[in-house]
Amino acid sequence: MGNPDSNTKPSMLTDSVWKSLVFFAVPLLLGSIFQQLYNTADSLVVGNFLGDSALAAVSSAANLINLLVDMFIGLFTGAGILVANYYGSGRKDKLSHAVQTTITIGFAAGILLTVIGNVLTPVLLRWMNTPEDVMANSLAYFRVYFSGSLAFIMYNCCTGILQNLGDSVRPLKYLILASATNIILDILFVAVFHLGVGSTALATILSQGLSAVLCFVRLYRSQEIYGFDLNRIYPRKDTISEILHFGVPSSFQNCMIALSNVVVQSGINLFETQAIAGCGAWSKLEGFALLPILSFTMALSTFVGQNKGAGNQERIRKGTKFGIVCCAAMSIIIGIVLYMCAPLLVALFNRNTEVIAYGTLKARFSAPFFVLLGVSNCIGGILRGIGKTKTSMFIYLGCWCLVRIALIHVGLAFMKDIRIVLIAYPVTWLLSTVIFLWRYKRDVWAVT
């Protein structure tokens, strides 16, 4: 089955490796930048108009939101692997079944997350040692955010389908429109109408709902190409089984990484409000810094998945080598820039000197080791693309979850110093990089 837009963009299956990856990754990168603007806009507006406590509430919210959302997003990763494989092999009937079933799972997941998020949020916030002066704002933010779960779940579901079919341009256009809407609504709700922290979550939900509708309409209007039919949205048992085979390990991996970040956040919450706000501001910056790496990772996963379906083993070897080198180079450059500019960048979120000092301290512990984070993410995406989702899951689970949590728990038991929490990241990045390189040589390079 040919690419429906092959006359306007490179094919993952036939064009030069670097051209295929770069032309696919650039729209992903731009889209990721605008996606990151959602939460960053919330933090910028809240930090400048509502103060330290409100910024700490939004910052503390991010890891818990990721914990509950990422368990469902992992299922769409499994669906994406199927979509890419079936598209590469030209099996239109199987592709149609994968698209129909993924849409159905998305609807169910959105409704389920609405219930889970609203029920568990107060308990989880207490478990995270959320300070009392932050609790009310955190609850307000969470309750609004999770009430709109269907919007961001369906956005991720439909976008994932389009991207794994090789279309990274249209999701970018929809996301630019939605991001602009989110920023306007943030300023309007908080600065003009003074509606408080919860209104920033409402702005995010309304904006993501807009992009979800646009992606859904695109799929509906492309019935011939993608096999999507609104009258045939129903789950197929065999396709569900395949999605779960690939998706459950990714879902569990995402959930465990997010859980470890929640544990890390609970460690940070033991310190003062300025520490929570400063580390949260850095986390937003780190999220932006990771975008080029994650964009290449997503491009590699799609590239590997499509070429695996087509049986192009030599292209997989060339593409993964090129991708790892690019990710490593980008990580080094990004790390240097962040290390040098950390105080100025953190100050964009809040001008409190203590907040800036804590954010800069976190940068000093993380930025010099970004190359480790970049290589780990890159190879993890490659392994998922060839179907080794369990291998990727166990490496992340062992290094970024179990080892990281143990280091923080034991370290804080001996000395209550925030540097114990911060140093756990580069240590576990190093461990995962060593293991990922070994598995890449064994599972990808030697085989292909």
Burial of 2 (C-beta count, 10 Å sphere; 0-12/13-18/19+): exposed
% of the chain exceeding 70 in pLDDT: 87
Q: Specify the amino acid at residue 204.
A: T
Predicted confidence (pLDDT) per residue in 172-213, tens digit: 788 888 888 888 998 898 888 888 888 888 888 898 889 889
Does position 228 have pLDDT exceeding 90, yes or no?
A: no
DSSP-assigned letters across all residues of 385-448: HTT-HHHHHHHHIIIIIIIHHHHHHHHHHH---HHHHHHHHHHHHHHHHHHHHHHHIIIIITT-
Q: Using alpha carbons, list the distances in angstroms from residue 29 to 35, 103, 128, 156, 381.
A: 10, 24, 32, 15, 15
pLDDT at residue 229 in the model: 62
For the record, the structure tokens of 388 come out as 């080794």
C-alpha angle 238/241/247, rounded to 5°? 140
Instruction: Kindly list the domain boundaries of the chain, sorted by start residue.
Output: 17-445
Identify the CA nearest to 73 among candidates 149, 137, 171: 149
Instruction: Find the range with the poorest average confidence among 4-18, 174-188, 272-286.
Output: 4-18
pLDDT tier for residue 2 given thresholds of 50, 70 and 90? very low
Query: Residue 224: what pLDDT?
Result: 57
Neighbours of 336 (CB within 10 A): 13
Question: Which pLDDT score is estimated for 59?
Answer: 66
Cβ-Cβ contacts under 8 Å for 316 (sequence gap 6 or more): 303, 304, 307, 308, 386, 444, 448
Query: What pLDDT, on the 0 to 100 scale, is given for residue 4?
Result: 42
pLDDT of residue 379: 92
Asked if pLDDT for residue 332 goes beyond 90, the answer is: yes
Task: Report whether pLDDT(259) > 80.
Answer: no
Q: What is the pLDDT of residue 223?
A: 60
pLDDT band at 375 (very low <50, low <70, confident <90, very high): very high
pLDDT for position 251: 74
How confident is the model over 440-447, as a mean pLDDT? 75
Query: Tokens at residue 162, please?
Result: 């389009």
d(Cα 92, Cα 419) in Å, to the nearest integer?
A: 53
What confidence score (pLDDT) does residue 226 get?
Answer: 58
Burial 178-211 (b: 16+ CB within 10 A, else e): bbebbbebbbebbeeeeebbbbbbbbbbbbbbbb
Task: Taking residues 310-329, report their average pLDDT.
Answer: 86
Check residues 110 and 11 and name the one with the higher pLDDT. 110
The region of weakest confidence among 31-35, 156-160, 230-234 is 230-234
Nearest to 316 by CA among 1, 13, 44: 13
**Out of 114-128, 168-182, 246-260, 378-392, least confident range:** 246-260
At 47-80, the pLDDT tens digits run 777 777 777 777 666 666 766 666 777 777 767 7
State the amino acid at position 375 in one-letter form.
V
pLDDT for 8 equals 47
**What's the average model confidence in pLDDT over 9-22?**
71
- The mean per-residue pLDDT over the stretch 143-152 comes to 86
Helix (H) or strand (E) holding 379: helix 370-385
Residue 143 and residue 60 in contact, taking contact as beta carbons nearer than 8 Å: no
Instruction: Write the DSSP symbol of residue 190.
Output: I
Question: Cα separation of 234 and 104, whole Å?
Answer: 6
What confidence category does residue 3 fall into, taking pLDDT thresholds of 50, 70 and 90?
very low
Residues 89-100 pLDDT 10s? 777 777 777 888
Residue 39: pLDDT band (50, 70, 90) is low
Measured distance CA(58)–CA(277) in Å, rounded? 9
Q: Which two tokens stand for residue 80?
A: 């994406």
How far, in Å, CA of 169 to CA of 277, rounded? 35
Residue 63: count other Cβ atoms within 10 Å of its Cβ.
21
Q: How many residues does the chain have?
A: 448
